[in-house]
Structure 1
Amino acid sequence: MHKLLTAYQKLRGASTQPDAAIFFKELARIFNTDPVNNTISLPVNEGSGIIKLTDTNNGLHVMAWDLQVNGVRQFKKLPLRPATGRFFTIIASLSPKHFQVRKKEGTVLPDMIFMAGEHPLFYTFLPGHKIKALVINISAEWVFREFRDADPDLLFQAHDLFYDKKPLLFTEEASFTMHHSLGDMQDLMSRERIDPFYARTKTLSILHDIFRRLLTIQSHDNKESNIQLHAKMLAVEKILDEYLDKNLPSIKEIAKQVALSESTLKRNFKKVYGISIYEFYLRKKMQLARHLLDQQPISVKEVAYMLGYEKTSNFITMFKKHYDFSPGALRKKFSLD
């Protein structure tokens, strides 16, 4: 939590309200017009309708699209967000058959898109129908300020998304609840006077649904990852068992056998077993040695040889380090019994 408060304090001291009018003006230029009072009215030769920008709260910018184009319009990149600052962006198409978003030249993305960072998206406007869409930009400061009293898991999720160097693109068909909230937001933006509190409440509801969904997906992915990790660690343990009577291969060679990097293997092995690979190997080796000395009528020298020790003294030293008594003492106890 201290990390989150520190991040919030830094953001409070930074400029988190970039000039939204700049990127809105760039958008107007695409439609060959100029914005008036944060509203783009499409020229007759382009179509009809408006795009309206509202800074409903410090750090919360909402663009509402309610228009119809005369012909097919395609753009490789639309200026849908400020060029500076850290922002989440939600793109919601309320008429997905006529306002389509693609990643590069791929298939059409679902009607709800959530982004952290920049992504090369392609936008298509199709004629013959009213196009309704929302583009919501939410600054880091706004999220940390409004989510301070929220579930800590959601707050940490927001923090990790903002400060992860990798951009995030999450797409999904909007749930019934989210679709309802988006529709309400669209209706709100069409009014002459906008209630900032209502916009805040609806945005929080939408973000809450998205963060919850991301947490669920992350939890499922982690579960799948843990299952795969456990299987690899069992494979490593099997390899160690095969070398109890001889010298252990290098960690690099073991990592290669289980298709992991050396550092990943060492880190995750310790995470699962609590000790290093070599410590685990020696423990199993000494457990086998004790079993042999306790159950078989063989000498300490023979056991050392069976476990791959060239010098019996080295075996005795290692055995005493693990059990605080010598293998000879155990051997003597077996003889007396």
Structure 2
Amino acid sequence: MKAFDHVYSTDPRTNYLQELAGKLQVPVINNGIQLPAAIGNGFVKELIIEEGFFVRYYYFTLNHDLKFRWVTDSDRNEAMFKLLLDMELTNSGDDAEFIDQVSMDRSAILYTTDFDRTVLIKKGQQVSRLVLMFSKNWLEENYSEASEKIITTVNLLVQQNKPTFIAENMDEGQYLFAKELVTEMKQDHFPLIHVKTKSLILINSFLNRVVCRSSNDVNFTHCLHHNEIKKVEDRIKEYLDKPLPNLQVLAAEFNMSPATLQRHFKMVYGKSIYHYYLEKKLELGKTMIAAKSKSISEIAYTLGYNRINSFSKAFKKQYGVLPSDMSIYRASL
């Protein structure tokens, strides 16, 4: 798999497009670059609207999988924010947390750029991503009358090493409005005032929805579908003594795509659904071993393992000892 590394300098607002153009060995024309045919088809455009606020638009497909990595600059003092709106990206392939995948099902996601992140883009995926990027100073100057909740949100977002994702679904009206904006940005020439006006309206709409939230909703584990993900966890616990349904079945039960379910589950619990399920299953097995009410083979069967060797292997991988050695292990502690 090919990869491009992007290291944010002290001013990512002016260096990103030039860096990308240099790596791809293409010129910057009309505030954008065209992808070389060897890599794919499409373009990346960037417009500086005003000091501290600019718009970036990605529209392309790739000939092969590409992994983009961004590494933060610890010396950069001013906090920067990104509001991402995915317009028509089709998911394909494995699922992962937000920073490992690029499909967000028409959601708008606000996050800080003060953490290292990776985006995997699959071969043949149609990427149409609108990014509104702005500084903390710009946000405060332009939303000085905003409620204390927005300021609280901003303060949460800028805490180093604790990246917060604030996600909202775009309703049909917002989605169509964003489509109008990207349609203009696909043109070689367009009125800058149109882009600026539409961008400000989209940001205002997003922040207004954040204001309407309960204060408890703004935290480091918040993500789209948070309440549904809690229900998924409860459902998973019902299967600790039997095989877990496949991801497609589980996703359909909660009216999500498999990728959305997996991605947001990992955002909340820090691991994939299967690894969470296995961890809880083995945790239950450990508790049953400690209770000494059943033999190891009975416990393995109770937990849905057809072979005791499979249970023993998984148990040792998780805890470092075989189930049969647990009593010896506890005695040595």
Gaps of 5+ in 2: 1-9, 219-333
**Alpha-carbon distance in structure 2 between the residues aligned to 1:97 and 1:36:** 28
**Alpha-carbon distance in structure 2 between the residues aligned to 1:114 and 1:143:** 13
Counterpart selection for 1:119 from 115, 118, 121? 115
Counterpart selection for 2:43 from 50, 53, 70? 50
Change (3 A) 1:142 1:153: same
Q: Is the 8 A contact 1:66 1:131 kept in 2?
A: yes
Change (3 A) 1:123 1:136: same
Match of residue 311 from structure 1: none
**Alpha-carbon distance in structure 2 between the residues aligned to 1:117 and 1:201:** 24
Query: Post-superposition shift, 1:54?
Result: 0.6
SS at match of 2:70: coil
Where does 1:141-220 land on structure 2 (aligned, <5 Å)? 141-148=137-144, 150-153=145-148, 156-157=151-152, 159-161=154-156, 164-165=159-160, 166-219=162-215
Gaps of 5+ in 1: 1-16, 223-337
**Alpha-carbon distance in structure 2 between the residues aligned to 1:189 and 1:152:** 32
Query: Post-superposition shift, 1:51?
Result: 0.6
Match of residue 66 from structure 1: 59
TM-score in terms of structure 2 length: 0.50
Query: Post-superposition shift, 1:47?
Result: 1.3
Query: Post-superposition shift, 1:60?
Result: 1.4
Q: Structure 2: which amino acid aligns with 1:90?
A: L
**Alpha-carbon distance in structure 1 between the residues aligned to 2:180 and 2:77:** 29
SS at match of 2:55: strand
* Structure with max Cα Rg: 1
Change (3 A) 1:87 1:221: closer
**Alpha-carbon distance in structure 2 between the residues aligned to 1:32 and 1:206:** 33
1:97 is the counterpart of 2:90: yes
**Alpha-carbon distance in structure 2 between the residues aligned to 1:200 and 1:184:** 13
Count of paired positions: 203
Output one character per residue of 1:90-131: Cα deviation in whole Å (capped at 9) or x when no partner.
Answer: 122212215998435589555432112423433232333542
Output one character per residue of 1:258-294: Cα deviation in whole Å (capped at 9) or x when no partner.
Answer: xxxxxxxxxxxxxxxxxxxxxxxxxxxxxxxxxxxxx
Query: Post-superposition shift, 1:18?
Result: 3.7
Q: In percent, how many aligned pairs have the same letter?
A: 16
Q: Is the 8 A contact 1:98 1:131 kept in 2?
A: no
**Alpha-carbon distance in structure 2 between the residues aligned to 1:173 and 1:155:** 18
Q: Is the 8 A contact 1:102 1:122 kept in 2?
A: no
Where does 1:233-312 land on structure 2 (aligned, <5 Å)? none
Query: Post-superposition shift, 1:63?
Result: 1.1
Query: Post-superposition shift, 1:221?
Result: 4.0
Q: Is the 8 A contact 2:102 2:120 kept in 1?
A: no
Query: Post-superposition shift, 1:84?
Result: 6.1
Q: Is the 8 A contact 2:34 2:41 kept in 1?
A: yes
Output one character per residue of 1:65-101: Cα deviation in whole Å (capped at 9) or x when no partner.
Answer: 122211222223389xxx6632211122212215998
